[in-house]
């Protein structure tokens, strides 16, 4: 944003990929000054989220740059969705080992395709040479008081999740040679891993319906653990009810049950929304699935207490992955 550090002259070409005329009339000044200026919507609150993605940690070296551009934006859009916020603006900062124009063009293509689809204006950023690292800040808006948080779950609420869980982690396990699936199934799993779909429309539709929400980025049990802690409740989850891909379901009944269970309750990177809602609104939630075009599945209940407790159709779950024992109440 402050221009490019001395010696980064060759990185000036990067700005070409990220400089576009902003489409929203609320952007007073976009890329190209010391800062960007926007006009906030009266009566709304502003929601901020930032995620840093490091090569070798959050994505593999050699990851398709177009998918990476998509994913870097998607993971932040997912955070805004979990807050019930309408995405508005993005700041894109990145360190890159070199200014490879083909890589950059592909990354920008993936980023802007999703930005355009979700009406997000990229209003600024910063680029420099360094070990590959992408840091996106997303700015959303929500009518004052209408944001969803982790803190509103109440005894008697239902627990819901969108889409299916475990796909991304199962895809990663296949890529790492730890298991196998049919090649037709693999493409879908890897697409979920590399190009997740943030549930933006669902997030805004849940305003006034959901009592608490979070995006499933670190694994269902851990993420619901945050909701339980912030809300001061216990959350019971029926593992048998968690929606999953057929490839994962097949493993759940067989010799790879441990891996399948781990994908389901501890798999990160799916970027689905988990949320709670009063049971009196069960029909409204079910109807939303059709409106936003995303399956919604009721997977549990909120009770008094603390922590997250897993069961399988009511029976205690003996073989819950050990690493997640401490989340149990």
Q: Contacts with a copy of itself in 113-132 (CB under 8 A)?
A: 123-131
Among 42, 62, 253, 254, binds a copy of itself (CB under 8 A): 42
* Residues 125, 14 contacting (CB under 8 angstroms): no
Give CA torsion, residues 164, 166, 167, 168, to 10 deg.
Answer: 130
Minimum CB distance to a copy of itself smaller for 96 or for 245: 96
Which residues 6+ apart lie within 8 Å of 8 measured at CB?
127, 128, 129
Looking up tokens 């199962």, which residue turns up? 170
Report 152-211 residues binding a copy of itself (CB under 8 A): none
Which residue, 33 or 187, is less far from a copy of itself as judged by CB?
33
Position among 204, 211, 217, 231 found at the interface with a copy of itself (CB under 8 A): 217
CB of 143 to a copy of itself, least distance (A): 12
The helix or strand, by DSSP H or E, that contains position 81, with its residue range, turns out to be helix 65-82
Stretch that binds a copy of itself, among 87-95, 248-256, 285-293, 305-313 (CB under 8 A): 87-95
Is 24 one of the binding residues for a copy of itself (CB under 8 A)?
no
Q: How far is the CB of 122 from a copy of itself (least distance, A)?
A: 11
How many CB atoms neighbour CB 291 within 10 A?
10
In angstroms, what is the minimal distance from the CB of 22 to a copy of itself? 12
The residue within the footprint of a copy of itself, chosen from 10, 13, 23, 50 (CB under 8 A), is: 50
Q: How far apart, in whole angstroms, are the C-alpha atoms of residue 153 and residue 277?
A: 7
32 binds a copy of itself (CB under 8 A): yes
How far apart (Å, rounded) are the C-alpha atoms in residues 125 and 111?
13
What is the DSSP pairing of strand 234-238 with strand 307-312? parallel
DSSP string, 183-199: HHHHHHHHHHHHS----
- Name which of residues 234 to 273 contact a copy of itself (CB under 8 A): 266, 268
Q: Which of the residues 1 through 20 are near a copy of itself (CB under 8 A)?
A: 1-6
């Amino acid at each position: 944003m402050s221009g490019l550090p001395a010696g980064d002259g060759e990185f000036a070409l990067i700005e070409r990929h990220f400089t576009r005329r902003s489409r929203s009339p609320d952007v007073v000044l976009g890329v190209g000054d010391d800062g960007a200026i926007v006009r906030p919507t009266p009566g709304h609150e502003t929601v901020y989220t930032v995620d840093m993605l490091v090569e070798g940690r959050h994505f593999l070296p050699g990851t398709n740059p177009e998918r990476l551009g998509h994913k870097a934006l998607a993971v932040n859009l997912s955070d805004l969705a979990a807050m019930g916020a309408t995405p508005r603006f993005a700041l894109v900062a990145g360190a890159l080992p070199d200014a490879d124009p083909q890589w950059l063009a592909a990354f920008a293509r993936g980023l802007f395709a999703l930005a355009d689809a979700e009406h997000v204006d990229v209003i600024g950023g910063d680029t420099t040479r360094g070990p590959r690292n992408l840091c996106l800040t997303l700015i959303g808006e929500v009518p004052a008081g209408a944001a969803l948080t982790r803190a509103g779950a109440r005894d008697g609420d239902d627990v819901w999740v969108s889409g299916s869980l475990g796909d991304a982690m199962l895809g990663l396990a296949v890529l790492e040679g730890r298991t196998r699936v049919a090649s037709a199934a693999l493409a879908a799993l890897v697409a979920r891993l590399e190009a997740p779909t943030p549930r933006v429309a669902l997030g805004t539709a849940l305003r006034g319906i959901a009592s608490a929400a979070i995006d499933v980025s670190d694994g269902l049990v851990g993420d619901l653990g945050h909701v339980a802690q912030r809300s001061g409740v216990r959350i019971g989850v029926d593992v048998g009810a968690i929606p999953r891909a057929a490839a994962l379901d097949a493993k759940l009944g067989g010799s790879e049950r441990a891996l399948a269970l781990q994908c389901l309750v501890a798999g990160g990177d799916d970027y689905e929304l988990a949320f709670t809602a009063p049971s009196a609104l069960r029909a409204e939630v079910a109807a939303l699935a059709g409106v936003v075009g995303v399956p919604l599945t009721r997977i549990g209940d909120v009770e008094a207490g603390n922590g997250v407790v897993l069961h399988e159709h009511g029976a205690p779950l003996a073989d819950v992955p050990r690493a997640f024992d401490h989340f149990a109440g």
